[in-house]
Chains A and B, each alone.
Chain A
Amino acid sequence: MIKEHELDKLIICKKCHTLHEKVKLENKTKAYCSECNVLLYQQDHDMIERTLALVITASISLFVAFNFNIININIQGLEQSLTLSSLFVVILEHEQYVVGLLFLFIIVIFPIGILFATFLLLFLMKVGKAAYLSKRLLILLAHLKPWNMVDIFFISLLVAMVKLFDIANIELGVAFVAFIFTLILDIIITKNLSFHDLWAIHSKIYGQIDEE
């Protein structure tokens, strides 16, 4: 049986589950799995500051995406626009409660929750306070992560637009641009942040904490 701190020197690849022994990295370098080339961990001193800035920008742009017109269509003089609130009004009008509820969670609550939790976590880690809370946030984020579907919603938007192309004039709204912006930021944030690195930084900042 190996001691606990020895285990910290090991890492298991998320894709192929190969066990690797970690090596110390220079700043701004990354380690990849030798079997399947997946990024294992990286060393980056100003990751928190940079990601924090990205998260704040993403929050503003998500706010715009949720509050303005996504697209407007015009069919022979009849106009209609798509906003997040009109989505829920129509879902309720058609009495699609199950779909509405799922939609509320995966498009609104979880994406906002993820951004807010990431912001709070990075902020706490930056100031080095509230070790227990930031640990809970890390666990919460891991649970929320698979349920974020803003990217799929955007693809669906494109599909819907192609379907309407022949019968309607489509005009892109402010929120459409904001959606693209949010998605790009989201991809950069996810690329920057791995749970493995966050936990490593967490234990470096707060030291080993035992609440038991």
Chain B
Amino acid sequence: MKNEHYIRCHICETVNYDNSITHNCRRCHSKINPSLHASYNRTLALLITAIILYIPANLYPILSTKQFGTNSDSTILGGIIHLWELGSYPVAIIILVASVVVPLLKFLLIIYLLIAAKYKTHSTLLDKHKIFYITESIGPWSMVDVFVVIILSVLIHFSGVQIYPGTGATAFALMVFFTMLSALSFDTRLIINYEKGNNVHAS
């Protein structure tokens, strides 16, 4: 069966008839995005915000150590390299995947989906739906490093030695937040849009 004329409500999962005009879900009355153009722009704007936040998240220290009066800062990458040198390979890999690979992969996948909504690409409809599914499922895993820093700052909290979260942690947490919002505002109808022959600009 072809499903070009049906859409799945992202809130209650019911099947709706796609008549391309502003309307609400027939069961839960959630708004079925009135304008694909708005969804496209919102996703893009939130994604750009997230990418911009990713820069200070990496440049500023995510964690600072105060040891008998002397301060030492550590960025995400610095922390990973340090762990690797210490020989804690599993932890280094977990942090690398959560803080570097997952966010970058998510940026790239959303960018790809946005491009595919406007221009013809080689991937099939099925591929694109699966890409979006992956983008949604890997969502919050990048929060690991921020949580670790907070947990460490509670435990290493003595008069002589202290660990505390740095500016990088705030930027990173916000980056994850905006990436998730970006994925949530992506309307799956943008995926089938090109195939239907009316891409975003034409409508």
Contacts and interface: CB of A to CB of B under 8 A. Distances in A.
Contact of A99 (B10, B91, B148, B169): B169
Nearest to A161: B151
A86 interface: yes
Contacts of B180: 146-147
A206 interface: no
A35 interface: yes
B30 A139 contact: yes
A205 B146 CA distance: 44
Interface in A96-140: 96, 98-99, 102-103, 106, 135, 138-139
B170 A19 contact: no
B48 to A, nearest CB: 19
Interface string A136-171: 001100110011010011011101101110001000
Nearest to B141: A152
Contact of A156 (B1, B17, B136, B148): B148
Contacts of B126: 16-18, 35
Binding site secondary structure of chain B? helix
Nearest to B151: A160
A163 B170 contact: no
B150 A199 contact: no
Contacts of B129: 15-17
A162 B1 CA distance: 51
B157 A152 contact: no
B154 A87 contact: yes
B153 A94 contact: yes
Interface string B137-160: 001110111111011111111100
B133 interface: yes
Contact of A12 (B3, B94, B144): B3
A17 B12 contact: no
Given A94-B164, A99-B169, A17 B8 contact: yes
Interface of A: 1-2, 4, 7-8, 10-12, 14-21, 35-36, 71, 73, 75, 78, 80, 82, 86-87, 90-91, 94, 96, 98-99, 102-103, 106, 135, 138-139, 142-143, 146-147, 149, 152-153, 155-157, 159-160, 162-164, 168, 194-196, 199
Closest CB pairs A-B (n = 8): A156-B147, A19-B3, A12-B8, A160-B151, A17-B129, A10-B15, A142-B11, A94-B164
